Chain A
Amino acid sequence: MRTRANERQPPFITDGGRDSSRDLGQERHRILRELRQQLTRHPAIEEVQGIPDGKLRELRADINPSAFGRDAERATLRVAWWPAPEDSEFTVHYSESTGYDCGFHREPNPHVDGKAHFQERSGPGDDYEYESVSFSVETPSRLLWTILDQLVDRLQ
C-alpha cells in the first residue's frame, strides 16, 4: 500500500508505529485515575494510594477483610493496568496478613489457556494454583466492579 506520496510521514510514525491519535501514557493516567475513584466508592475499601509515591504506576488499597468475609487482620488490593496497542493487560490482586493471596490477571500466562486467569496460594512459600477465567466486559471501571464481586465469591 506504500506509495511515494505518503513516504513523508511524521517521525513518530516511522519510529515504530506510534499512533499519534492514541497516547498510551495519557490513557494509563486516565484509567488509573478512574479506577482510583471507583475503588473509593466500594464499601470494603478503606484507603487508596498511588504507588510508587509520586510515580503513580499502580494503585494500592487498604481493605477491611471482614467486609470480604475474611478473618484476617489486614488486607490490601493491588490494581495495575497496562494499556497496549492490541490487548490491554491488568492485575487486581488481593493479599492478606495471613499470608494468603489471590488475584485476577489478564496477561499471557504459561499455566492456563486464554489470557485471563485467577490465581491463588495459601502463603508466600506455596505454588500458585491457576484457573482460566473470562470476562464479558471491557471498560476498566465496570470490569473492576465485576472483579471485586467475583473476588468476594472466591474469598467466602
Chain B
Amino acid sequence: METDEETTETPGDEAWKEHTSSFDRVQSVALTVAEPRPASWIADEALVAENTARRHLQRLVELNVLTADAEGGATTYFPDPVYVRTREVRALLEEHDQDSLAALATELKSDIENWQAEFDASSPEQVRRQTAEDSFSAEDSRERRHVASDWEHTRYRLSLIEDALERYGEFTNRPAPA
C-alpha cells in the first residue's frame, strides 16, 4: 500500500499508480497542461503528495523539461517550449532520413493547401470561427473543428521538420571512431 499518496476512488487510478512511478506521473501531467499550473494542482492530478510533486517539479525545471514562474504568488509550471520542440525533432530524426523528411514536408504542405481551398480559409483559426455559424449541421461543425485542430497540428509539425532539415547534418553527425 502507498502511504504518502492520495487515496481517491476514480477508476483507473490504482492501475496508473501500479504501472508508473510518481516521477513519471508528475512529468506526464505537467507536460500535457493547457496553462501554467501550481504544484498543488499537478499533485492532485498525478496522485502524489504535494511535497513529492514539488520535489519532482523542481528536478524537471533543473532538467529544462519545465519552466517555473514565481510571479504573483504560487509558483506555476509549464512545459519548456525548447524541450518540447527538441524532443519532437529528435523523434522525427529517429524515424526518418533526409529524403523522407523532405517528402513528409511536401505532403503536409499539400494537406494545408487542400484545407485552404476546401474551407476557403487562410488559417486554422478562421476555420474554427466558421464553426460558430448557425448554417452548419452538427456534422459539418465537427468536421471543421477537427480540421482546424489537424491544421494547427500540421503547422507545428512542419516547423519541426524545417528545423530537422535545416540542421540535418549537425543533428545526425557522429564522428567515426579513430
Binding site for B on A (CB under 8 A): 15-18, 22-31, 33-34, 37-38, 41-43, 54-57, 82-85, 88-89, 107-110, 136-142, 144-150, 153
- Contact between A41 and B10 (Cβ–Cβ < 8 Å)? no
Q: What secondary structure prevails in chain B residues at the interface with A? A: helix
Q: With A141-B25, A149-B15, A150-B11 given, can you name 18 additional A-B contacts, CB distance below 8 Å?
A: A18-B125, A25-B154, A28-B156, A29-B88, A38-B28, A42-B19, A54-B95, A55-B107, A55-B157, A82-B146, A82-B149, A108-B141, A141-B16, A141-B29, A142-B12, A142-B46, A145-B12, A146-B12
Q: In the bound complex, what is the Cα–Cα distance between A54 and B96 (angstroms)?
A: 8
Contact across chains for A145 and B96 when beta carbons are under 8 A apart? no
Please name the residue on chain B nearest to A140 by beta carbon.
Answer: B32
In the bound complex, CA of A111 to CA of B35 (Å) = 32
Report the 6 A-B pairs with minimum CB-CB distance, sorted nearest first: A25-B156, A16-B125, A149-B12, A145-B12, A25-B152, A146-B12
Contact of B11 among A15, A84, A146 (CB under 8 A): A146
Given A56-B157, A110-B138, A147-B12: A139 in contact with B19 (beta carbons within 8 A): no
Is the CB–CB distance between A108 and B29 below 8 Å?
A: no
* Interchain CA distance A30-B128 in the complex, whole Å: 21
Q: How far is the CB of A88 from chain B (nearest CB, A)?
A: 8
Complex CA distance for A4 and B7, rounded to whole angstroms = 53
* Contacts between the two chains (Cβ within 8 Å), count: 135
**What are 22 of the A-B contact pairs (CB < 8 Å)?**
A16-B125, A26-B85, A30-B32, A30-B84, A33-B91, A34-B31, A34-B32, A41-B20, A54-B96, A55-B104, A55-B107, A57-B150, A82-B146, A85-B128, A108-B141, A139-B29, A142-B12, A142-B29, A142-B46, A145-B12, A145-B16, A150-B12
Cα distance, A7 to B107, chains bound together (Å): 38
Interface string of B90-121 (1 = CB under 8 A from A): 01000110001000100110010000000000
Contacts of A140 in B (CB 8 A): 32
A98 CB to nearest chain B CB (Å) = 25
- CB–CB A142/B13 < 8 A: yes
A54 and B104 CA atoms in complex are apart in Å by 7
B21 CB to nearest chain A CB (Å): 10
Q: Which residue of A lies closest to B146 (CB)?
A: A82
Residues of chain B lying within 8 A (CB to CB) of residue A145? 12-13, 15-16
Q: What is the distance, in angstroms, from B83's C-beta to the closest C-beta of chain A?
A: 10
Contacts of B91 in A (CB 8 A): 33
User: Binary interface profile of B, 150-174, with partner A (CB < 8 Å = 1, else 0)?
Assistant: 1011111100000000000000000
Taking the complex as formed, is B54 at the interface, i.e. its CB lies under 8 A from any CB of chain A?
no
Contact B153 A25 (CB under 8 A): yes
* Docked pose: A110 CA to B125 CA in angstroms: 25
Residues of B43-93 contacting chain A, CB below 8 A: 45-47, 79, 81, 84-85, 87-88, 91
Q: Which of A26, A34, A55, A83 has the most CB of B within 10 A?
A: A26
Taking the closest CB of chain A, its distance from the CB of B136, in whole angstroms, is 12
**Which residues of chain B have C-beta atoms less than 8 A from A150's C-beta?**
11-12
Select A146's contact among B10, B108, B153, beta carbons within 8 Å: B10
